Amino acid sequence: MKSFFSKFKNLLLIGAYKTLVIFERLANKGIALDFISKDYIDNPYKTYNSMRSHKPILFSQTTRLHWVTKMEFAQEMLRDKRFSVDDRKYPIAEKRRKEFKKAGREIMLEQFENPSMLKLDPPDHSRIRKLVQYGFTNRYITSLEPEIKKIIEDCLDKVHNQDSFDLIEDLAKPLPAIVIAKMMGLPNEDLDQFQAWSEDLLVGVGGIGTSREDIKKSGDAYEALIRYFEEIILSRKTSPGDDFIGKLIQAEESGDKLNVKEMYGTCLLLLIAGHETTTRLIGNGMFTLFNHQDQMSLLQNNHELIPNAIEEMLRYEPPVHATVRFAENEMIYDGKTYKRGTPFAVSIAGANRDPEANENPNEFDITRDDIKHISFGYGPHMCIGASLARIESRIAFECLFERFKNLELEDKNPVWGRNLIFRGFDHLKLKAS
């Protein structure tokens, strides 16, 4: 009986959603953000291009967000103090609080009330970022290169004699998790558990049609990681060490230090942002190369092009597709009045394909000059770990091309993940020789 009512409820929700899509098409001259359709999942850029051509800021009935697809506006919203990232201040926050309380997620509620710098506006964001920056100096990140290469080589050693392997499962997914764990100085015996929690956590982030089981799994992993970091950080207080957590403990600016909750939030932020960006950058980039064989040949014959190729991969097929901002106060923007708390979805993927920002934006060209993208953000919230993601992906491509002279897609039509925030694959099977 329970199963029957669950299916019936799902049918009603699907019906309501389809109705909203119809209304959206009527309101926007045939344009709708139908984010569960196969056409959108396979190629969201067609939708973003249509939205931008119609209106640079377009309200979507299906997401209840105002979508920004023009690079100029996207950059402005990401740097302008009139737009806030702190969702605790707006009506949406109360819904989140009720959801956490109903689910008995006290740890998640506490962390929601004490967010990472990703969810804070200046001056709180500026204060924490300045302190966290001590763990992301260029010298420190560059010093990790030999360790990163060893991790990649170890991953590839495991599949070297196989006829095929899964680029995501065998390399792109474990690489950032292991790097982050080693950066934090976590014990080797904890690595498997840490990676398992990392994977479970990300199941519930931004997914379309995510099941209750996946949401529970994600919540359990979140709370387990908070408790784990709590134990690790408290044990390091007396003897911090020279790893990332040690640097966070020791970081001080004008007498100011990070408190324990800020450290938890920072560790989780590093885990989620670092994991997803690198994993999907490697997967999306390799898939794009397979679909542009001329560019693949160029790169295979000239590894010096890899850094520029990575920037073009980030622009053309970004790992993160959108981020949200709120109107700090009632405001007039682009000739229209918006209420305080109005949510805007800044379309990173849409802005990257804006023809006013990049010439021939729908062409993939690894030799492109002056590549403009906001795939690592823009303004004060620009990704603090961008240099790490670039190094990880650069070495990954170098090692792949050195190790395998011929790579082919085993599955010519791999399935894109159903996610509004992150874009990428759960699996990408390659034939190797």
Q: Can you give the chain as a three-state secondary structure string?
A: CHHHHHHHHHHHHHHHHHHHHHHHHHHCCCCCCCCCCHHHHHCHHHHHHHHHHHCCEEEECCCCEEEECCHHHHHHHHHCCCEECCHHHCCHHHHHHHHHHHCCCHHHHHHHHCCCHHHCCCCHHHHHHHHHHHHHCHHHHHHCHHHHHHHHHHHHHCCCCCCEEEHHHHHHCHHHHHHHHHHCCCCHHHHHHHHHHHHHHHHCCCECCCCHHHHHHHHHHHHHHHHHHHHHHHHHCCCCCCCHHHHHHHCCECCECCCHHHHHHHHHHHHHHHHHHHHHHHHHHHHHHHCCHHHHHHHHHCHHHHHHHHHHHHHHCCCECEEEEEECCCEEECCEEECCCCEEEEEHHHHHCCCCCCCCCCCCCCCCCCCCCCCCCCHHHCCCCHHHHHHHHHHHHHHHHHHCCCEEECCCCCCECCECCECCECCCEEEEC
276, part of any domain: yes
pLDDT of residue 254: 62
331, part of any domain: no
59, part of any domain: no
pLDDT of residue 12: 54
pLDDT of residue 208: 62
Q: Tell me: the pLDDT tens digits for 66-96?
A: 999 999 999 999 999 999 999 898 888 888 8
Q: Tell me: the pLDDT tens digits for 142-187?
A: 999 999 999 999 999 999 889 999 999 999 999 998 999 888 888 8
Domain CATH code at residue 144 = 1.10.630.10
Q: Domain total for the chain?
A: 1
300, part of any domain: yes
167, part of any domain: yes
pLDDT of residue 13: 60
126, part of any domain: yes
23, part of any domain: no
What range does the domain containing 231 cover? Answer: 111-324+383-432
For the chain, list residues with pLDDT below 50. Answer: 1-2, 4-9, 11
